[in-house]
């Protein structure tokens, strides 16, 4: 993507797409939903241009990347020690806590055991990116291109996210907020998100937990997520 791929540009693009969609479908405002990393530009777009949105729905909300990664490091190191995995312990100790200059080589080490750390019987891996990226609708070359694109994008954006902390930088949003978390979400994501949610000033805010789900609760429980979106539309209809 080159030097033009910045968080600022992604937020600007989000707002531009919002304006296009609103005009295309004849509305003054739309709903915006983000998942994982996508909650970051979505949150910032809502903060910057609240008049464009009916509500914000964040799934697997990210709040403070540096703290999330630190908690992942601590949990993975503790898990490796408890299992007597001396090779993983040695690698983690050699890496030290995040952030990392070599994010592509280091980040998978701290998040790799996430499913063992937060195991639950409903998980079958079908909604993991490693599965969906090889979906039957994609050719092998398209899947490989997506992997390269994701790696390049993350390598460029990750360093830009290190000073982000919504608890300080986004103390308020001017639209209703719904945060959706899987009951088995990792501590590194839940704790910062809950702290932000508790302090966040908003017209209304809701913390929604989906059982039998983790980081991708919206795709792990699609029927529940669809019902929630319908409920949100009804709840905010007075404002439309």
| Structural domain boundaries enclosing 37 | 2-64+165-239
| pTM metric for this prediction | 0.90
The total of other beta-carbon atoms located within 10 Å of residue 221's CB is 20
Number of H-type helices and E-type strands within the chain: 12, 4
- In this structure, are 30 and 75 located in the same domain? no
CA nearest to 66, candidates 147, 216, 166: 166
Mean of the pLDDT values across residues 77-84?
94
pLDDT higher for 208 or 111?
Answer: 208
What confidence tier does 1 reach under pLDDT thresholds 50, 70, 90?
low
CA dihedral sign of residues 34, 40, 43, 44: negative
Q: Which of 160, 194, 214 is the last residue of a domain?
A: 160
Per-residue pLDDT of 84-135, as tens digits, reads 999 999 999 999 999 888 788 888 899 888 877 777 767 676 667 666 777 7
pLDDT higher for 120 or 197?
Answer: 197
- In this structure, are 131 and 172 located in the same domain? no
Q: Which long-range contacts (CB under 8 A, 24 or more apart) does 157-161 make?
A: 157/5, 157/6, 157/7, 157/10, 157/37, 158/65, 158/99, 158/103, 158/107, 159/99, 159/103, 160/6, 160/7, 161/7, 161/40, 161/65
Per the structure, the count of domains in the chain is 2
Mean of the pLDDT values across residues 166-171?
98
d(C-alpha 33, C-alpha 52), whole Å: 13
- In this structure, are 19 and 102 located in the same domain? no
Q: Based on C-alpha coordinates, what's the Rg of the chain?
A: 19
Give, rounded to a whole angstrom, the gap between the first and last alpha carbons of the chain.
Answer: 37
CATH code of 184's domain: 3.40.50.1820
- In this structure, are 71 and 154 located in the same domain? yes
Contact 55, 175 (CB under 8 A): yes
CA nearest to 179, candidates 164, 196, 166: 196
CA nearest to 147, candidates 160, 161, 132: 132
pLDDT of residue 153: 84
- In this structure, are 60 and 71 located in the same domain? no
CA distances from 111 to 69, 107, 117, 239 (A): 8, 7, 10, 41
**Phi and psi at residue 227, to the nearest 5°:** -65, -40
């Amino acid at each position: 993507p080159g030097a033009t791929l910045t968080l600022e540009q992604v937020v600007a693009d989000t707002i531009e797409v919002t304006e296009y969609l609103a005009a295309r479908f004849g509305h003054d405002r739309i709903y915006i939903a983000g998942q994982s990393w996508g909650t970051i530009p979505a949150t910032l777009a809502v903060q910057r241009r609240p008049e464009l949105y009916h509500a914000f729905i964040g799934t697997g909300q990210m709040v403070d990347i540096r703290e999330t990664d630190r908690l992942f490091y601590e949990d993975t190191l503790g898990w490796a020690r408890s299992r007597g995995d001396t090779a993983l312990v040695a690698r983690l100790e050699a890496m030290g806590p995040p952030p990392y200059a070599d994010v592509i080589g280091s980040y998978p080490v701290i998040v790799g055991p996430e499913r063992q750390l937060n195991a639950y019987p409903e998980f079958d891996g079908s909604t993991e990116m490693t599965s969906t990226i090889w979906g039957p609708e994609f050719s092998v070359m398209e899947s490989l291109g997506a992997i390269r694109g994701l790696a390049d994008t993350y390598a460029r954006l990750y360093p830009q996210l290190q000073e982000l902390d919504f608890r300080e930088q986004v103390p308020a949003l001017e639209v209703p907020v719904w945060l959706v978390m899987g009951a088995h979400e990792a501590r590194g994501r839940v704790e910062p998100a809950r702290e932000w949610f508790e302090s966040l000033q908003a017209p209304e805010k809701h913390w929604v937990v989906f059982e039998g789900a983790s980081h991708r609760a919206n795709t792990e429980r699609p029927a529940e997520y669809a019902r929630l979106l319908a409920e949100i539309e009804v709840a905010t209809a007075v404002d439309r």
